[in-house]
Structure 1
């Protein structure tokens, strides 16, 4: 079962968290596409030889393909506002599921207690496409393990 792990990946703390979460999922039998590790990176061949515009297109196309191949789209929602690139990825995952009838679980992990909107932690354009939101890692792992075992729709 393939998990596309979306979220912020620009600070050392964000990358470390994502790597650790991906490792926990892989230890439980999931395959994980982690863009910071498995995707297009400026200093990895063959992308290091590309012009910036070519690299951006390659990044978009690879990520889009992996999102559409995924069984689970997992959005790490940490931060004052969700990562804008991951928001676009969420839109792709949701639209693909609606248009193609994909059986993809769209889940989020949101441990951050800050709220952006009165009465809600998330913008409705982010909240509504999410089937499930876990407020801690243990709950998230239970949700995803349920999906792996066929108990989670």
Structure 2
């Protein structure tokens, strides 16, 4: 099964977290092929040059080849439109701690004050696309479990 891994990749912390998650995904099963864009030096070596068309074509090709798109939704939001349009299953991991405290009355009241939103905002278009073709979880173990379920489904069906 081919997996496209989407997520923020410009801060060192993002790169390291992506590496960690992809390593764990690859450990789930030897047959998994995970495309991690930061590993594609042809378009993501920041000391070299790749124009917007090169990046768009390379990443879109890998999305279209994938059987599953997984995404870290923390930070900069991904565009899941291509995966949704091709009906590729999606799993999102959203770990942002600002989502906690949904029952805290002071945090809820602050929503009415200008610039005092205590919660992180996610692009609802992206969230909707992911949910239409999959789900979003907040715990890594749930994320890995859903990937394993997709792998079993993929294997049972002999590919999607």
TM-score tier, shorter chain, comes to 0.7 to 0.9
In the alignment, which residue of structure 2 is the partner of 1:63? 59
- Looking at structure 2, the residues matched to 141 and 3 of structure 1 have their Cα atoms a distance apart, in angstroms, of 12
In the alignment, which residue of structure 1 is the partner of 2:140? 137
Cα contact 1:114–1:121 (8 A) shared by 2: no
Correspondence for 1:94 among 84, 107, 110: 84
TM-score under structure 1 normalisation?
A: 0.76
1:41 aligned to 2:25?
A: no
Tell me: CA distance 1:59–1:112, structure 2 relative to 1, closer, same or farther (3 Å).
same
Unpaired runs of 5+ residues, structure 1, are: 98-103
Cα displacement (A) at 1:126: 1.5
In the alignment, which residue of structure 2 is the partner of 1:126? 126
Tell me: CA distance 1:43–1:123, structure 2 relative to 1, closer, same or farther (3 Å).
closer
Cα displacement (A) at 1:127: 1.4
Cα displacement (A) at 1:124: 2.3
Cα contact 1:68–1:96 (8 A) shared by 2: yes
Cα contact 1:3–1:74 (8 A) shared by 2: yes
Cα contact 2:96–2:120 (8 A) shared by 1: no
Root-mean-square deviation over aligned CA pairs: 2.8
State the secondary structure of the residue aligned to 1:128.
helix
TM-score under structure 2 normalisation?
A: 0.72
* Pair member with larger Rg: 2
Tell me: CA distance 1:93–1:13, structure 2 relative to 1, closer, same or farther (3 Å).
same
How many residue pairs match? The answer is: 134
Question: After superposition, what is the alpha-carbon deviation per residue over 1:48-96, rounded to whole angstroms, capped at 9, x for unaligned?
Answer: 4x5x5xx3211110100000111111110112xx33xx22xx1111122
